[in-house]
Amino acid sequence: MNDALRQARQSALTLLAFALVCTGLLAGTYLLTQKTVKANENAAKLALIAQTLPAGSYDNDPVASAVALPAADAAALGNDGSAKVYVARHAGQPSGFVFEAQAHNGYAGKIRLLVGVDAAGRVSGVRVVAHKETPGLGDYIDPAKSNWIHQFDGKRADAAWKVKKDGGDFDYMTGATISARAVTGAVGRVVAYYREHASRFATLAQGKP
């Protein structure tokens, strides 16, 4: 009986030592790669944000200048939880804003977007961050698939933010209206939101909204 207890104790200690070594290795790897992973994530996000802002319109790092939106504002832009606005500045003054937004009414579910708006309230660019629309049909909302999304560039809040089938200003592809309708509505909400709060965002050079 004593031998059995001794063997069980030894096995338990061996497993404990193994677990501690593995935990230490994982923790060490995480600490060593954390900064690199974070830098890569920021670089990828900055590259996507850059596609929604005119080249040469900013001289700062919009990712580093991100501001968390109040919960009610994030919800107004369709986000389920928190959301950010990425602030572009030129010579210290805000020159554009890139909003995280979401459309809930895509054909296959939610469509996450980045919507750029310049200081004058014009759309400077829109990019789809994530979607599950049908390949070869609704996925034309992705600029990697078509130029459809570029039709928003330069539009203001006074545009008719519907697809032409619904009496609006924006094109769509026959048989895939739902995807276009969802993105168009989401972009329109962002532009309307910015127009309503333009004076508040104009102070971002001095502080948060």
Render pLDDT for 129-157 as a digit per residue (tens, 0 to 9): 999 888 888 889 999 899 999 999 999 99
For residues 106 and 84, the answer to whether their CB atoms sit within 8 Å is: no
pLDDT of 174-191, one tens digit each?
888 999 999 999 999 999
Mean pLDDT of 202-207: 66
pLDDT of 39-57, one tens digit each?
455 577 888 999 999 999 9
Q: Hey, CA dihedral for 45, 150, 107, 163, is it positive or negative? A: positive
Residue 151 has a CB neighbour count (10 Å cut-off) of 15
pLDDT of 95-125, one tens digit each?
999 999 999 999 999 999 999 999 999 999 9
The pLDDT value given to residue 208: 46
CA distances 209 to 69, 87, 114, 186, Å, are: 8, 11, 19, 21
DSSP letter assigned to residue 170: B
Question: 19-28, 67-76, 81-90: lowest mean pLDDT where?
Answer: 19-28
Residue with tokens 């660019």: 125
pTM of the shown model: 0.79
